């Protein structure tokens, strides 16, 4: 039985913490699993395998970006519509989401298998790791449709107010993934790591679909449930999120392409630093995702004062956490990078980037909270601008500064884009309250 958190009533801080902590733990567990993947490849294989997986996963993030955008859009639609929907209408909405999610997943699978070598060549993948990167990518893609259904099912539950079961699913899948990694990495190399992902995604997908069917999905799928107006509502919220996710993945492609002009140590060090940054910022991202659902449901219910209280509490929690995270990176950057590799060149490159970029984490964290306000109120155009413009600035800075200053150009670019992104998001939140209309969402299911 689902145990939903009542987001519309009760003490604000307690409600946010009770709802957000499982989401944060789930996201941290997911990223820890990714970090463990990197550690296993770096420790059990070598820096060439680590670089191959890094290049492959950079390309795969573009495919995952489409999945993530669709997932976030569907989650936002569920949160904004749930207060006014009955069980039957909610089930029809979920069936539409699952169908289109699977259709997109199969299209991505076909496109990835067909064009992966071209994609890897575009980011200057070194010839000595090309075949390994290809092998990892193609195996990983086989699990993409299952991963998309799994992630969407989790997001639907979270948007309904249930964050406990998604956390348990993440913890279980992470344990299974790590066990399979350790069993398969020695006999199969990077292919074993990719195969472990596919098997885990299949099992996780099966569990979440069964749980959905026993809870919020009160009726089975029927083709006559499919509705173009419902699909239009999904697209209106999913497309801005998808653009944001793809833009984020695109800057990763640009960076990886620039890294290809350096060497294997720089690629590996950059990968280690980036994995740690993602792990560190994940609790903030989880809190912001919770804030989106909190704002969306309360906005639908007209509880403006409750929304303002929730935003204040989220800012207090974020400031305390991110200050501790920055201090840890400044003091222990080499020790953190050495968890991934004992190669001194890799540690030097990764520690330099981690220490330098940690100064900007506060701007990034506060930007997430500003954007949560935009998404929660369905202000998708300002949200899209808040994401795309800073990413464009960062991309241009990397293209200009990395050729001129070398490896240091990566963190110099962040010094420019992170503060400007925060200031832009803050201005857009203020401006959108005055003049930007919300996305219209049809009530028809």
How far apart are the C-alpha atoms of 201 and 185, rounded to whole Å?
17
Q: What is the mean pLDDT of residues 187-212?
A: 92
Which among 157-166, 208-217, 230-239, 323-332 has the top mean pLDDT? Answer: 323-332
d(CA 237, CA 48): 40
- Structural contact between residues 59 and 120, judged by C-beta atoms closer than 8 angstroms: yes
Give the whole-angstrom CA distance, residue 80 versus residue 29: 27
Residue 367, burial from CB neighbour count under 10 angstroms (0-12, 13-18, 19+): buried
Expressed in angstroms, the distance from the first to the final Cα of the chain is 25
pLDDT tens digits for range 243-299: 777 777 777 778 878 887 787 788 888 888 988 898 899 899 889 988 988 888 788
Closest C-alpha among 170, 161, 153 to residue 15? 161
The confidence score (pLDDT) of residue 444 equals 40
Q: What is the pLDDT averaged over residues 57-62? A: 84
Structure tokens at 240: 């801005």
Alpha-carbon distance of 364 to 39, in angstroms, equals 26
Each residue's pLDDT tens digit, 106-155: 999 999 999 899 988 887 788 888 999 999 999 999 999 999 999 999 88
Burial class of residue 213 (count of CB atoms within 10 Å of its CB; 0-12, 13-18, 19+): middle
Q: Which residues contact 20 (CB under 8 A, 6 or more apart)?
A: 163, 286, 287, 290, 291
- Is the per-residue pLDDT at 445 higher than 50? no
Longest dimension (CA), the chain: 61
* Structure-block tokens of residue 44: 């059990």
Tally of CB atoms within 10 A around 158: 27
Cα 354 to Cα 407: distance, rounded to the nearest angstrom = 12
- pLDDT, residue 221, reads 67
Task: For residue 83, name the pLDDT band (cuts at 50, 70, 90).
Answer: low
Q: Helices marked H in 123-143 — which ranges?
A: 127-141
Q: Which pLDDT belongs to residue 82? A: 67
For residues 437 and 16, what is the distance between their CA atoms, to the nearest angstrom? 26
List, for residues 404-438, the tens digit of each pLDDT value: 998 899 999 999 999 999 999 999 998 876 444 44
Name the phi and psi angles at 438, rounded to 5: -75, 160
> Could you report the per-residue pLDDT of 204-214, keeping only the tens digit for each?
999 999 998 88
Share of the chain above pLDDT 70, in %: 94
- In the prediction, which pLDDT does 85 show? 67
Residue 14 has pLDDT above 70, yes or no: yes
Q: 301: which DSSP letter?
A: T
Predicted confidence at residue 125, as pLDDT, reads 82
d(CA 401, CA 111): 33
What does the mean pLDDT of the chain come to? 85
Residues in CB range of 327: below 8 A, 6 or more apart: none
Give the per-residue pLDDT at 279: 85
Instruction: Give the rounded distance of the alpha carbon of 14 from its chain centre.
Output: 25
Report how many helices (DSSP H) and strands (DSSP E) the chain contains, helices first.
Answer: 14, 0
Structure tokens at 271: 């990968």
pLDDT band at 160 (very low <50, low <70, confident <90, very high): confident
pLDDT of 353 above 60: yes
Radius of gyration of the chain (CA): 21
Six token digits for residue 439: 């996305």
Least confident of 252-256, 321-325, 395-399, 425-429: 252-256
Angstrom distance (rounded) from CA 36 to CA 110: 28
With H, G, I as helix, E, B as strand and everything else as coil, classify residue 39: helix
30, pLDDT greater than 90 = no
pTM, whole model, 2 decimals? 0.71
Proportion of the chain above pLDDT 90, given as a percent: 33
Choice between 301 and 102, residue whose per-residue pLDDT is larger: 102
Question: Hey, what are 250's tokens?
Answer: 């695109």
Question: How many Å separate Cα 345 from the centre of its chain?
Answer: 29
Helix, strand, coil share (%) of the chain residues, nearest 5: 85, 0, 15
């Amino acid at each position: 039985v689902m145990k939903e958190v009542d987001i519309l009533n009760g003490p604000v801080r307690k409600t946010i913490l009770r709802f957000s902590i499982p989401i944060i733990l789930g996201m941290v567990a997911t990223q820890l699993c990714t970090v463990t993947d990197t550690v296993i490849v770096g420790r059990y294989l070598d820096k060439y395998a680590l670089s191959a997986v890094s290049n492959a996963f950079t390309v795969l993030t573009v495919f995952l970006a489409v999945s993530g955008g669709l997932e976030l859009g569907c989650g936002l639609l569920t949160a904004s519509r749930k207060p006014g929907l009955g069980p039957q209408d909610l089930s029809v909405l979920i069936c539409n989401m699952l169908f289109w999610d699977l259709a997109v997943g199969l299209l991505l699978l076909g496109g990835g298998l067909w064009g992966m070598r071209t994609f890897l060549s575009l980011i200057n993948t070194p010839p000595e790791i090309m075949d390994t990167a290809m092998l990892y990518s193609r195996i990983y893609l086989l699990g993409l449709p299952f991963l998309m259904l799994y992630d969407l099912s989790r997001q639907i539950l979270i948007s309904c107010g249930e964050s406990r079961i998604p956390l348990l699913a993440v913890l279980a899948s992470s344990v299974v993934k790590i066990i399979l990694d350790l069993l398969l990495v020695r006999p199969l190399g990077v292919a074993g790591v990719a195969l472990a992902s596919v098997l885990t995604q299949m099992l996780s997908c099966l569990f979440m679909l069964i749980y959905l069917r026993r809870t919020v999905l009160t009726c089975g799928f029927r083709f006559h449930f499919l509705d173009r107006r419902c699909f239009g509502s999904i697209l209106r919220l999913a497309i801005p999120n998808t653009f944001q996710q793809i833009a984020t993945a695109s800057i990763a492609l640009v960076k990886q392409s620039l890294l290809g002009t350096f060497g294997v140590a720089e690629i590996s060090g950059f990968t280690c630093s980036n994995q740690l940054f993602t792990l560190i910022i994940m609790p903030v991202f989880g809190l912001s995702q919770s804030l989106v659902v909190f704002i969306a449901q309360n906005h639908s219910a007209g509880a403006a004062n409750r929304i303002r209280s929730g935003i204040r509490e989220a800012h207090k929690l974020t400031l305390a956490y991110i200050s501790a995270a920055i201090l840890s990176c400044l003091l222990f950057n080499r020790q953190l990078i050495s968890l991934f590799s004992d190669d001194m060149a890799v540690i030097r490159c990764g520690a330099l980037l981690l220490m330098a970029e940690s100064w900007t984490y506060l701007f990034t964290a506060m930007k997430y909270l500003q954007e949560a306000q935009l998404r929660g109120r369905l202000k998708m155009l300002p949200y899209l601008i808040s994401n795309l413009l800073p990413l464009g600035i960062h991309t241009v800075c990397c293209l200009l500064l990395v050729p001129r200053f070398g490896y240091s150009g990566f963190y110099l670019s962040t010094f420019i884009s992170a503060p400007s992104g925060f200031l832009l998001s803050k201005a857009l939140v203020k401006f959108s309250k005055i003049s930007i209309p919300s996305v219209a969402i049809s009530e028809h299911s």
